[in-house]
Amino acid sequence: MAEKAVDVVVAGGGPAGLTAGLYLARARMDVLLVEKQAPGGAPALTEKIENYPGFPEGISGFELVDRMRRQAEGFGLRISSFNPLEGLEDGGDLKKVRTAEAEIAARAVVLAMGMRPAKLGVPGEEEFHGRGVSYCATCDAAFFKDGVVAVVGGGNSAVEEALFLSRFARKVIIVHRRDRLRAGGVLEERALSNPKMDFAWKKTVKEIRGEDRVTGLVLADVEGGPDVEIEVDGVFLYVGNIPNTEEVRGTVELDERGFIKTDADLRTSVPGVFAAGDVRSGAVWQVAAAVGDGVRAALRAQFHVENQKGTAYI
């Protein structure tokens, strides 16, 4: 593989990674951002973000992260898309970063790979993925115009997506293991008052059924009551998240769920390696928080590099 040497490699092109890249490029660091897809991360698939400061009318997730990308590239950030992180080794002063395209020597690394939706692991989930089973309402809602869909989960993401689906489907059924939503405030009020919304309380999905496509769900009662079968045209799953840390397992210390452990300055267990955004243990999974993480990680990475070079400003 080709050999390259840079000041900082940023792994991940979501809000945390783009912000870290922006700050580092603006500081005239030699920085390369590598991303497994196109830049943007999970927010790029969010129909509307209403709680990011400075946008009182809200903004689409794609537009927000695209503005971040354009701003970062304007300061000279190099982005290598479809070139995922495949491995990381602690080589002392120079970290060895392996991607799909190259092996890169870096004085510092910012890990901002984010996370992905967890799967239910029930019969029918894999079989009907893409044929009625989805993890992204913004991507697939239009396929269910005037249909009946289920949303599994009761947190903020599940309710946001259920509300978006209600623009297309004639009925949206939220399946939740509790007797009330975990999403609070405005989201809960909107869901409970939406005439297209129905709720299957204290239920879990036992099986996803269908023929060529999804036709129904078998729901188990958490209190031991009889199973219930409901007819749906599709099901959207929001039951948790898995950190994208497989490629750094064994190099940096992870918590019991696989998220990267950091200190208050976002330093990992490996000197010169920092973590930011949703991939970090203790993150609150909000775009504004990820941006803040990106700033802190970038400043600490910059100081680390400059200290190595003997040019750190104290």
Residues marked active site are found at 136, 139-140
Q: Convert 123-160 to b/e letters by CB count within 10 Å (16 or more is b).
A: ebbeebeeebbbbebbebbeebeebbbbbbbbbbbbbb
Do 258 and 243 contact (CB within 8 A), yes or no? yes
| C-beta of residue 24 within 8 angstroms of C-beta of residue 112 | no
Question: DSSP states of 40-65 as a string?
Answer: T-GGGG-S-B--STT-TT-B-HHHHH
- 50 vs 57: CA distance, rounded Å: 7
Burial class (CB in 10 A: 0-12, 13-18, 19+), 185: exposed
- Structural contact between residues 51 and 64, judged by C-beta atoms closer than 8 angstroms: no
Long-range contacts of 181-190 (CB under 8 A, 24+ apart): 181/154, 181/155, 182/154, 182/155, 182/156, 183/154, 183/155, 183/156, 183/158, 183/159, 187/156, 187/159, 187/160, 187/163, 188/159, 190/159, 190/163
CA 247 → CA 152, 260, 276, 279, distances in Å?
29, 12, 16, 12
| CA-derived radius of gyration, the chain | 21
Amino acid at 233: D
